[in-house]
């Protein structure tokens, strides 16, 4: 298939481009590189032994996007391009709403103009209302605690409405849980700007001794060891999930939300322990206060992914910790050019 990948130079996007190229698909990436490096795409092509097409521009530029669609028929679009930092979204809500909503609207406009009807959308477990029972399934109540989450929920609603109004449209809303890890080559991985917000990139940078210690956000949650529990998923399993979703979209119309997680929860202390024992490195930590907005436990009900996509995860927490560290150790400055 000829696949348009927006935000394809980013963390999840680059791993998905690699899986697509390896799967024999033709890949066209649009990314303005605001949070990514061209080096990621160079490495993806080297690893796959195949080329992709790259366009650098802002997804909100509808004229340039139309030109990409005019170059040849697109079978499916995978829409990763978005801003994703929860804390930043609280400080700069308009930037988040403008970027994430307008990118999605612009993409839908071009798709409809050019008769492209299959769309895979990067949503998030963050769309589930706080206090949902775990494991959370796709029919649980929705609601968000920050502007980033609302952009995902609003985009989901836009896409449901577009699919409703266009009966040939096929849209899969993939609700990712916590993607971590890196391609097993150690050549591509997560490369956050500045101080990482998320657990695994912080751990790998503590292991590198860029930071003295990790701060564990609270040990008084109602969990086995008191620290927060999440459903961590290897980014390469997640990437494969997009290919399964594309196959599904080929044979179905309408709009469906699907969780992509492992269905298992690990605490912060579990992750530190797994990382230390798999990699033989120390991750010093201190217990700090809870981070505002954090939930105690989040993990996925994965039944729908198994039933509709025939997809389930293959890599375990040790693989995630090993691959995250291999990437970080080999690339202490990430891609180095952001």
Shortest separation between residue 306's beta carbon and ligand NAD, angstroms: 20
- 16 near ligand WQD, judged by CB under 6 A: no
User: Residues with Cβ < 8 Å from 99, sequence gap 6 or more?
Assistant: 60, 82, 83
The answer to the question of residue 86 lying near ligand WQD (CB under 6 A) is yes
The partner in contact with residue 12, picked from ligand WQD, ligand NAD, none with C-beta cut-offs of 5 to 8 angstroms by kind, is: ligand NAD
Question: Please, what is the minimum distance in Å from the beta carbon of residue 275 to ligand WQD?
Answer: 12
Contact set for ligand WQD, span 102-141 (CB under 6 A): 124, 126
The item of ligand NAD, ligand WQD, none sharing an interface with residue 10, based on CB under 5 to 8 Å by kind, is ligand NAD
Q: Which residue among the candidates 11, 128, 148, 299 is catalytic per the annotation?
A: 148
User: In the chain, which ranges are continuous DSSP H helix?
Assistant: 11-22, 38-48, 62-70, 86-91, 93-96, 102-113, 147-165, 199-207, 235-251, 268-279, 303-304, 317-330
Q: Is it true that the peptide bond before 135 is cis, omega within 30 degrees of 0? A: yes
Residue nearest to ligand NAD (CB): 10
Q: How many CA atoms lie within 13 A of 42 on its CB side?
A: 6
Instruction: Tell me 125's DSSP state.
Output: G
For ligand NAD, what does the binding mask look like between residues 79 and 108, x meaning CB under 6 A? -xxxxx--------------x---x-----
**Residues in 15-54 that interact with ligand NAD by CB under 6 A:** 31-36
Q: How far apart are the first and last CA of the chain?
A: 31
Beta carbon nearer to ligand WQD, 23 or 293: 293
Asked if residue 198 binds ligand WQD (CB under 6 A), the reply is yes
Token pair, residue 316, equals: 């375990």
Binding-residue total with ligand NAD (CB under 6 A): 26
Q: Which is nearer to ligand NAD, 4 or 212 (CB)?
A: 4
Q: List the interface residues with ligand NAD, window 159-188 (CB under 6 A).
A: 176, 179
DSSP string, 41-67: HHHHHHHHTS--EEE-S-TT-HHHHHH
**Greatest alpha-carbon span in the chain:** 56
Which member of 217, 273, 281, 316 binds ligand WQD (CB under 6 A)? 217
**What is residue 315's three-state secondary structure?**
coil
User: 27 - beta bridge partners?
Assistant: 3
Is 148 one of the catalytic residues? yes
Measure CA 307 to chain center.
Answer: 21
Rounded to the nearest whole angstrom, what is the least distance from the CB of residue 182 to ligand WQD in the complex?
A: 15
Q: Which stretch binds ligand NAD (CB under 6 A): 77-85, 86-94, 295-303, 328-336?
A: 77-85
Nearer to ligand NAD, 82 or 206 (CB): 82
Q: Is 299 in the site for ligand WQD (CB under 6 A)?
A: no
Alpha carbon of residue 36 to chain centroid: 13
Residue 182's binding partner among ligand NAD, ligand WQD, none (Cβ under 5 to 8 angstroms by kind) is none
Rounded Cα distance between 314 and 322, Å, is 15
**What secondary structure does DSSP assign to 8-54, as a single string?**
TTSHHHHHHHHHHHHTT-EEEEE---TT--HHHHHHHHHHHTS--EE
The answer to the question of residue 273 lying near ligand WQD (CB under 6 A) is no
What minimum distance in Å lies between the beta carbon of 215 and ligand WQD? 5
Question: Where along the sequence are the contacts to ligand NAD (CB under 6 A)?
Answer: 7, 9-13, 31-36, 58-60, 80-84, 99, 103, 122, 124, 176, 179
Catalytic residues: 148
């Amino acid at each position: 298939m000829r696949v348009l990948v927006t935000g394809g130079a980013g963390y999840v996007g680059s791993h998905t481009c690699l899986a697509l190229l390896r799967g024999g698909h033709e890949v066209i990436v649009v990314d303005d590189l605001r949070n990514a490096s061209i080096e990621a795409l160079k490495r993806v092509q080297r690893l796959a032994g195949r080329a992709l097409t790259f366009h650098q521009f802002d997804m909100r530029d509808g004229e340039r996007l139309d030109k990409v669609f005019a170059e040849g028929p697109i079978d499916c679009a995978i829409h990763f391009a978005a801003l994703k930092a929860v804390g930043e979204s609280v400080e700069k809500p308009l930037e988040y709403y403008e970027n994430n909503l307008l990118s999605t609207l612009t993409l839908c406009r071009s798709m409809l103009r050019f008769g492209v009807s299959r769309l895979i959308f990067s949503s998030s477990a963050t769309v589930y209302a706080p206090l949902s029972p775990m494991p959370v399934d796709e029919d649980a109540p929705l609601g968000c605690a920050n502007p980033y989450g609302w952009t995902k929920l609003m985009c989901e609603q836009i896409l449901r409405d577009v699919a409703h109004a266009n009966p040939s449209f096929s849209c899969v809303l993939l609700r990712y849980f916590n993607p971590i890890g890196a391609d097993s080559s150690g050549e591509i991985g997560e490369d956050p700007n500045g101080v990482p917000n998320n657990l695994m990139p912080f751990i790998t940078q503590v292991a590198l001794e860029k930071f003295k210690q990790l701060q564990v956000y609270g040990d008084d949650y109602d969990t086995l060891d008191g620290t927060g529990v999440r459903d961590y998923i290897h980014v390469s399993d997640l990437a494969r999930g997009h290919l399964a979703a594309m196959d599904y979209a080929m044979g179905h119309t309408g709009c469906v939300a699907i969780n992509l997680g492992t269905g298992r929860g690990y605490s912060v202390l579990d992750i530190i322990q797994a990382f230390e024992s798999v990699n033989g490195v120390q991750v010093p930590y201190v217990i700090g206060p809870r981070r505002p907005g954090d939930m105690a436990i989040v993990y996925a009900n994965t039944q729908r992914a198994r039933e509709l996509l025939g997809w389930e995860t293959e890599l375990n927490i040790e693989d995630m910790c090993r691959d995250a560290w291999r990437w970080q150790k080999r690339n202490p400055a990430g891609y180095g050019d952001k």
